[in-house]
């Protein structure tokens, strides 16, 4: 049954979209800026992993963790030099967005100048590969690649850890509160700057993790951030901004939709389908699948 196989293919891809989307959505929720540089953090994370695996020959898990730390540092640096000065002058939203655009262009093209535009591949023996048969339908095997499965599980673990952090720790609860109303939280005595730093760190780590995952399965280049970043963004909006479960669902939905489009409709429109779904969802339900129904303040 090709349909079921395509759905499973889509789930594997969707996990990566979810991971990128959560990075978007946490920053948008807390800081309120469209962090266009997220795609670039993802790209830099992938390149960090590339150097760790090819030069230092680190094992996968060590490389992944170091890349995530590096991603956090990069994201915090972006905030420190890009957004913080704007917050001091009261951050008009448009200025934040254009700054993000500028930062993203700057990072993408400096990386191209530095790493050359050549595509790069991770070492082939980084993770062992096996084609796993899940079950049989009408004598046909439904399969999933062990890499995809591992990365999907990795995504779930990271998301579960994040969910725990947000539900159980004070900082996490503060982040959740901040995504609903930052100014009230400030009155409650929370330190917004610290909260924002943590948010960027988490977002950067998630972006870098997604980058390393993609590098492990596919190949990387300095332009990879633009499309992936945007897909992550549409997923975040699709799921409802500021809502992690929504992002997770949105990512899986987009992965499946792309896979089904490529399998049954037209491979040429595979990338377009995400945007079409997003536009339709936003028109019917402007808050996204699971967004908070924020009342407009008068």
Partner 1 sequence: MKKLLARLPHGKGEWFFGSSGRATFFGSAAALLLVCFVDALSPSATIIPPYYKHILFSCLLYSILSLSLNLVTGFVGQLSLGHAAFFGIGAYVTGALTKFYGINFWLTIPAAAVLAALVAVPLAAAAQRVKGAFLVVITYGFGEVLRYVAINTDFLGGSAGMPGIKPPTIFGFAFNRVGPSGKELYILLAFALVSLLSFFTWRIEKSRVGYALSAIREDEIAAVAMGVNTKYYKTLAIVLSAFLCGVAGSLQAGYASFVSPEMLSSTQSILILTMVIVGGPRSIKGSILGAALLTILPEFFHSVKDWLGLGFDPWMILYGLILIILMRFRPQGFWGKTTVF
Partner 2 sequence: MKKTKIISLIMACTLAAALLAGCGKGGSDKLKIGLVAPLTGDNGVMGESQRRGYEMAMEEINASGGVGGKTLELVTYDDQGDPQKAASGAQKFADDKSVLAIGGSCNSSSTLAMIPIIDGGKLPDLVVSSSSAALTGSSEYFFRMSVQDAAVGPLMADALTKMGKKSIVVLYPNNDYGKGLNESIVAQMLANGGDVLDSLTYLATDQDFTAQLTTVKNLDPDAIALAGTPTDSGLLIKQIRQLGIDVPLIGGTGLYNAKTIEICGDAAEDIIVIGVYVASNPDPKVQELVGKYVAKYKQEPDGFAALAYDQMYVIAQAAEKAMAANGGNITRETLAAALKTTAYDGVTGSVTFNEVNDWVRPYLTLTVKNGAFVMFEG
Residues that bind partner 1 (CB under 8 A): 28, 34, 82, 85-86, 89, 92-99, 101-110, 112-113, 230, 233-234, 237, 241, 266, 268-269, 271-272, 274-276, 278-279, 282-283, 286, 296, 298
Strand partners, 140: 137
Q: Are 286 and 39 in contact (CB under 8 A)?
A: no
Task: Select from 60-68, 168-176, 177-185, 219-227 the region that touches partner 2 (CB under 8 A).
Answer: 219-227
Tokens of 251: 């990512």
Nearest to 40 by CA among 111, 89, 97, 93: 111
Min. distance of Cβ 89 from partner 2 in angstroms?
19
CB burial class (10 A; 0-12, 13-18, 19+) of residue 81? Answer: exposed
| Residue 276 interface partner, choices partner 1, partner 2, none, CB cut-off 5-8 Å depending on type | partner 1
Segment 238-267, which members bind partner 2 (CB under 8 A)? 258-263, 267
Query: What is the DSSP code (8-state) at residue 132?
Result: E
Q: Are 253 and 13 in contact (CB under 8 A)?
A: no
Which helix (H) or strand (E) covers residue 142, if one does? strand 140-145
In angstroms, the CA 273 to CA 21 distance is: 17
CB of 124 or CB of 283, closer to partner 2: 124
287: contact with partner 2 by CB under 8 A = no
In angstroms, the CA 136 to CA 10 distance is: 19
CB of 72 or CB of 259, closer to partner 2: 259
Min. distance of Cβ 77 from partner 1 in angstroms?
13
| Residue 86 interface partner, choices partner 2, partner 1, none, CB cut-off 5-8 Å depending on type | partner 1
Q: Are strands 131-137 and 140-145 parallel, antiparallel or unpaired?
A: antiparallel
| Residue 170 interface partner, choices partner 2, partner 1, none, CB cut-off 5-8 Å depending on type | none
| Separation in Å, CA 6 to CA 3, 72, 256 | 5, 34, 7
30: contact with partner 2 by CB under 8 A = no
134 by DSSP, 3-state: which? strand
Nearest to 225 by CA among 21, 34, 41: 41
Task: Select from 40-48, 139-147, 154-162, 239-247 the region that touches partner 2 (CB under 8 A).
Answer: 139-147
Task: Select from 62-70, 123-131, 173-181, 197-205 the region that touches partner 2 (CB under 8 A).
Answer: 123-131
| Residue 54 interface partner, choices partner 1, partner 2, none, CB cut-off 5-8 Å depending on type | none
The contact set with partner 2 (CB under 8 A) reads 2, 5-6, 9-10, 12-13, 109, 112-113, 116-119, 121, 124, 129, 131, 143, 145, 147-148, 214, 217-219, 221, 223, 227, 258-263, 267-268, 270-271
């Amino acid at each position: 049954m090709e349909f079921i196989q395509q759905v499973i293919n889509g789930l594997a891809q969707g996990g990566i979209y979810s991971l990128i989307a959560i990075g978007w959505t946490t920053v948008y929720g807390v800081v309120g800026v469209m962090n266009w540089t997220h795609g670039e953090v993802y790209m830099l994370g992938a390149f960090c992993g590339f150097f760790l695996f090819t030069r230092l020959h680190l094992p996968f898990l060590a490389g992944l963790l170091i890349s995530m730390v590096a991603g956090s540092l990069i994201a915090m640096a972006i905030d420190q030099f890009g957004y913080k000065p704007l917050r001091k002058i009261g951050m008009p939203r448009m200025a934040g967005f254009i700054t993000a655009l500028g930062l993203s262009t700057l990072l993408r093209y400096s990386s191209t100048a530095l790493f050359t535009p050549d595509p790069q591949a991770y070492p082939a023996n980084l993770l062992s590969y096996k084609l796993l048969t899940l079950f049989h339908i009408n004598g046909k095997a439904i399969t999933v690649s062990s890499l995809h499965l591992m990365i999907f599980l990795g995504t779930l673990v990271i998301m579960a850890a994040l969910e725990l952090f947000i539900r159980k720790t004070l900082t996490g609860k503060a982040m959740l509160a901040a995504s609903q109303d930052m100014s009230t939280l400030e009155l409650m005595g929370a330190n917004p700057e610290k909260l924002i730093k943590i948010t960027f760190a988490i977002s950067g780590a998630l972006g870098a993790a997604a980058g390393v995952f993609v590098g492990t399965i596919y190949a990387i280049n300095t332009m990879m951030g633009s499309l992936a970043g945007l897909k992550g963004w549409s997923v975040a909006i699709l799921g409802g901004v500021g809502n992690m479960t929504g992002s997770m669902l949105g990512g899986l939905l987009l992965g499946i939709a792309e896979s089904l489009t490529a399998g049954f409709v037209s491979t040429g429109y595979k990338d377009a389908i995400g945007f079409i779904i997003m536009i339709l969802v936003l028109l019917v339900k402007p808050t996204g699948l699971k967004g908070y129904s924020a009342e407009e303040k008068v």
